Structure 1
Amino acid sequence: MKKIRFGLIGSGWRAEFYIRIAKAIPDQFELTSVLIRDKEKGEVFSKKFDVKVVNSIDELINDHPHYVVLSIKRGVVTDYLIDLFRRGIPVLCETPPGESKEALETLWDQYKKYDAKVQIAEQYFYQPLYASWLKVIEDGKLGELENINISSLHGYHGVSIIRKFFNIGFDNCVIYGKRFHFNLTETYGRGGIVHDGEITSCPRDRLTLEFDQGKVAFFDFSDPAQYHSFIRTRQLTIQGVRGEIDDLTVRYLTDENIPVTQNLNRIDYGLYNNQEWAHAGIMLGEEYVYKNPFQYTRLNDDEIAVATCMLKMDEYLKTGKEFYTLQDALQDMYISLMMDEALKNPNQEIKTSKRSWT
């Protein structure tokens, strides 16, 4: 199998995912170089991660990557994307692609102008659990979906799952809700486990999104508690006319209208005397609803999802098959911005409208 060669722009926490993936699956991925404009910072980064660091886009491209991964701060991502569009460089961009409605519109205009090759690394629906939920939905077990309650992902990530699960395209919606604040004892962060018992006030956003087709999403998220806490978890409920997903439990009717209740069962190697250590897949009853495409590789769920985006990007360049388009990313970020607007105006209805990319 020919290796997928990619360059990387960025040196933050998220960019490190791509380095770990390349090192974990060297027979599939090859990191050509990392662009860090600050020379001193780049030298430190190069030694820390044992990667080649360059200081300009020209140097990055001279290493002949098949595509470039853009993983930088939100405030400058639009300018970088447009520069890559102008140069004709295929790009896999971390979300979000912009942070204002004006930036989103500009980006779409530039994308059309240069006929750019771009996909967005919105990875959550490739995570094992989300992929399993999606497979249950696509198999038709729940019938027509009518409402979803999601309490696991913030902003545009949550919106992407809502739109993907509902399969509603670019439907407009009415949004209303409110932000609350609740105290929480710190237990975990990006730096590891915390034992000092510090209590902080965490915002909790509760929003309702009513789409034109009549489908309703109830959005509930506490940031950053639900990403980094041992005493807060994620929750998901999806209800269709013939069944529901209640987190890890799936209830549905057979063709003979016999009610069935089954649980999603995660299969991992390396547990209880097994010598491997990796994720295998997720089963519902006797069938796999998800199989890890990187069997026996030591990746966490988010790394599996990001690596899947990297594979999909290679397929897109070879076949033209898209997996998460710029249009979808712009729409998800636009709705997320309108959700922010709704939070600034508690319990007032905010209506989305058609945009240039729709």
Structure 2
Amino acid sequence: MEKIRFGMIGSGWRAEFFIRIAKALPDIFELSAVMIRDKEKGMKYAKEFDINVVQTIEEVEQTKVDFIVISVNRTVTMDYLQKLFKMGIPVLCETPPADSIEKLDKLWELYKQHNAKIQVAEQYFAQPLYAAWLKAIEDGMIGEIQNINISSLHAYHGVSIISRVLGCEFVNCTISGKKFWFEATETYGRDGMVFDGEVKKFPRDRVTLEFENGKVAFFDFAGVQYHSFIRTRQLNIQGTRGEIDDMTIRYITKDGNIPVTQELRRIDFGAYNNQEWAHYGIMLGEKFLYKSPFKFPRLNDDEIAIATCMYKMKDYINKGIEFYPLKDALQDTYIGFKIDEAVQENKPIKTTTQIWNQ
């Protein structure tokens, strides 16, 4: 396979994911250039990560990229997207694509105006465990999905999973919820484990989304969950013939209607005496619900998911096969804004059909 050659705009914490992926999978990806406008900062970045850093989009384009990743603060994403659309360069945009409903509308109009090529790296559907859950649903194991209780992802990230699970991508809903504050001892951060025993207050949103087709999502999230050893992530999905409850799937067999309970099992190389150190897949009983698309990737689950989005860009550019279209990203971000509004105002909010779904 010909290498996927990409450039990038951005130098934040999220941008580093794309650099690690390119270095971990050099036979698949080639990062040709990173754009950082500040020359001094760019020189330091180039030295730290051993990559080519330039100051303009035109310089990135000259490296003959298949697409450009935008990984910058959402307040300035629009400016870069508008320029890339005009230049006709395919884009993989880090989420979210805008910071207000007005900008979401403007972005959709720009997309249509330039017939732009863009997909969004809202990657959670491609994380191994989420992908396994979605495959179980796709296979009809638990029947028609009725509701989801998710406590693992915030705002538009959580909405993206809710939408896929319930099949309610563009169905209007009524959102009600409230924000609470609870104390918890901090145990982990982006720099590693924390042992000082400091107790902090963290917000927790409890939200219900009632869709017009009768399906319901119970959304429960506290920011501390992303980095904590004492606050778990939880997911429960109920269908007419079973349920997914974290690592347990309960279902009724198609032949004989026999109730069965099975556990999901991760297959990871590198534990004990195995030397490869990589995630391989997730099994339920004797079959795989998920296999990593990469051979022995030394990547964590989130990096595998982002790499999957990058890998799918090739088929999107060449064949038009979308994996996370702009309209889906706009809708999920819009619902995320409405969740914030319902929580802040502590009253029910009804969503309406937006221009990208008319």
**Residue 140 (structure 1) shift:** 0.3
Q: Counterpart in 1 of 2:180?
A: 180
Q: Distance in 1 between matches of 2:314 and 2:232?
A: 34
Equivalent AA in structure 2 for residue 162 of structure 1: I
Q: Counterpart in 2 of 1:30?
A: 30
Q: Distance in 2 between matches of 1:357 and 1:134?
A: 25
Q: Counterpart in 1 of 2:239?
A: 240
Q: Distance in 1 between matches of 2:72 and 2:64?
A: 21
Equivalent AA in structure 2 for residue 328 of structure 1: D
1:85-234 aligned at under 5 Å gives the runs 85-223=85-223, 225-234=224-233
Q: Counterpart in 1 of 2:351?
A: 352
Q: Distance in 2 between matches of 1:272 and 1:111?
A: 50
Scaled by the length of structure 1, the TM-score of the pair is 0.99
Structure 1 gaps, min length 5: none
Which region of structure 1 is more displaced relative to structure 2, 33-42 or 187-196? 187-196
Instruction: Report whether the alignment pairs 1:12 with 2:16.
Output: no
Number of residue pairs the alignment of both structures matches: 356
Equivalent AA in structure 1 for residue 174 of structure 2: V
Q: Counterpart in 2 of 1:282?
A: 282
**Residue 19 (structure 1) shift:** 0.4
Q: Distance in 2 between matches of 1:207 and 1:110?
A: 33
**Residue 345 (structure 1) shift:** 1.3
Q: Distance in 2 between matches of 1:335 and 1:79?
A: 23
The alignment partner of 2:231 has SS state of coil
The alignment partner of 2:168 has SS state of coil
**Residue 169 (structure 1) shift:** 2.8
Q: Distance in 2 between matches of 1:297 and 1:306?
A: 12
The alignment partner of 2:60 has SS state of helix
Q: Counterpart in 2 of 1:66?
A: 66
Q: Counterpart in 2 of 1:259?
A: 259
The alignment partner of 1:142 has SS state of coil
Equivalent AA in structure 2 for residue 249 of structure 1: T
Contact 2:19–2:31 (Cα < 8 Å) also in 1: yes
Contact 2:210–2:216 (Cα < 8 Å) also in 1: yes
Which region of structure 1 is more displaced relative to structure 2, 116-125 or 76-85? 76-85
**Residue 275 (structure 1) shift:** 1.8
**Residue 263 (structure 1) shift:** 0.5
Equivalent AA in structure 1 for residue 180 of structure 2: F
Contact 2:169–2:331 (Cα < 8 Å) also in 1: no
Contact 2:143–2:240 (Cα < 8 Å) also in 1: yes
Q: Counterpart in 2 of 1:333?
A: 333
Q: Distance in 2 between matches of 1:21 and 1:325?
A: 22
Which region of structure 1 is more displaced relative to structure 2, 321-330 or 70-79? 70-79
Q: Distance in 2 between matches of 1:119 and 1:275?
A: 36
Q: Distance in 1 between matches of 2:38 and 2:308?
A: 30
**Residue 74 (structure 1) shift:** 1.2
**Residue 171 (structure 1) shift:** 0.2
CA deviation string 1:115-152 (max 9, x = no partner): 00000001001000000000000000111111100000
**Residue 232 (structure 1) shift:** 1.1
**Residue 21 (structure 1) shift:** 0.5
Equivalent AA in structure 2 for residue 323 of structure 1: F
The alignment partner of 1:7 has SS state of strand
**Residue 280 (structure 1) shift:** 0.7
Equivalent AA in structure 1 for residue 6 of structure 2: F
The alignment partner of 1:168 has SS state of coil
CA deviation string 1:17-52 (max 9, x = no partner): 000000001011000000000000000000000000
Q: Distance in 2 between matches of 1:187 and 1:78?
A: 36
Scaled by the length of structure 2, the TM-score of the pair is 0.99
Q: Distance in 2 between matches of 1:82 and 1:350?
A: 31
Sequence identity percentage: 63
CA RMSD of aligned residues (A): 0.6
**Residue 79 (structure 1) shift:** 1.6
**Residue 64 (structure 1) shift:** 1.0
Q: Counterpart in 2 of 1:76?
A: 76
The alignment partner of 1:65 has SS state of coil
**Residue 297 (structure 1) shift:** 1.6
1:32-51 aligned at under 5 Å gives the runs 32-51=32-51
